[in-house]
Amino acid sequence: MTRTASVLYDAPGPRAVIRNIIYSILAGVALLAALGYVVVEFAAQGQFGAAKWEPFLDGAVWSTYLLPGLRGTIVAAALSIVFAMVLGMIFGVARLSDHRPVRWVAGAIVEVARAIPVLILMIFLFALYSEYNVFESEYLALAAVVTALTVYNGSVIAEIVRAGILSLPTGQTEAAAALGMRKGQLMRLILLPQAITAMLPALISQMVVALKDSALGYVITYEEVVRNGLQLGAAEANTIPVLIVVAIIMIALNMALSGVATWLERRLRSRRKGTAVVAADSVVTDAAPVVGITKGR
């Protein structure tokens, strides 16, 4: 049987496959037993009654609570992921700088940013922005959530970038130096494109963390899907059904991120294969006249 590697994990060997199957069966049985117990208890308390699920058939409920919350979650997660990627790339490369002061400053910033809890950072930034009127009132909570998620996840991505670059063979760096390439050209043209592919599993995992941590914005009154879901549960007295629906929505978002990661990994892999084929053709074409001359002699 041919095993294909995923962007999120390496393909297991034969023994690992058998062991994983056994573990999966045992875990599945335990999970089904726990799920059955929960379902029985919820049913006994009337959580699956039609009256508690009818609000989800009302379009006004979705347009008032769930869809605005979903939009807020996606906006905060998307902005923080983009900014964190940029910040992480900058500080990850800075930690590999040839200049010692640059490495020290970048390392200190990354370590401090990773040590601060995201929730505390959100609360602090929200109070800071409110005190000095940095943003308009309607964007204060969004700005605090995005900034906090960017700072924390950017620091983690910086370490991922640094580890990914250091994992590449040193021979490429030595060859680029022999060709007279500058450090910036080496990073931009050789090291980063390869490191990004190797870092994709860790990067996607960090994106999922950013998506889930956006729910912490409810503390500073940011409108996201968990906060709006709790408000809906309080209004309709169906908190358990609302949390189940919110969980399904978050799982769907996380699965969509994993799907995007798999698609991107396949595109990068096919692009590398295409480049290799072109290079091989050019070598064969250039070598043909030489072969002919040799035979002539």
Output the average pLDDT for the chain: 83
Can you say how many angstroms the Cα of residue 120 is from the centroid of all Cα atoms in its chain?
22
**pLDDT score of 290:** 39
At 218-263, the pLDDT tens digits run: 999 999 999 999 999 999 999 999 999 999 999 998 888 878 877 8
Share above pLDDT 90 across residues of the chain, in percent, rounded to a whole number: 50
Residue 208: C-alpha distances to residues 167, 203, 245 (Å): 24, 9, 19
**pLDDT score of 231:** 92
3-state secondary structure of 222: coil
Q: What is the widest separation between alpha-carbon atoms in the chain?
A: 94
**pLDDT score of 56:** 92
Average pLDDT over residues 120-143: 91
Q: Which of 38-47, 58-67, 103-112, 280-289 is least confident?
A: 280-289
Domains and CATH numbers, the chain: 50-270 (1.10.3720.10)
Dist. CA 26–CA 3, nearest whole Å: 23
Q: Which of 30-39, 82-91, 267-276 is least confident?
A: 267-276
Q: Which of 56, 41, 70 is nearest to 236 (CA)?
A: 56
Instruction: Quote the tokens at residue 53.
Output: 């699920």
Average pLDDT over residues 124-151: 92
Residue 281 has pLDDT above 80, yes or no: no
**pLDDT score of 194:** 80
Dist. CA 90–CA 151, nearest whole Å: 12
Residue 108 has pLDDT above 80, yes or no: yes
**pLDDT score of 230:** 92
Dist. CA 27–CA 24, nearest whole Å: 5
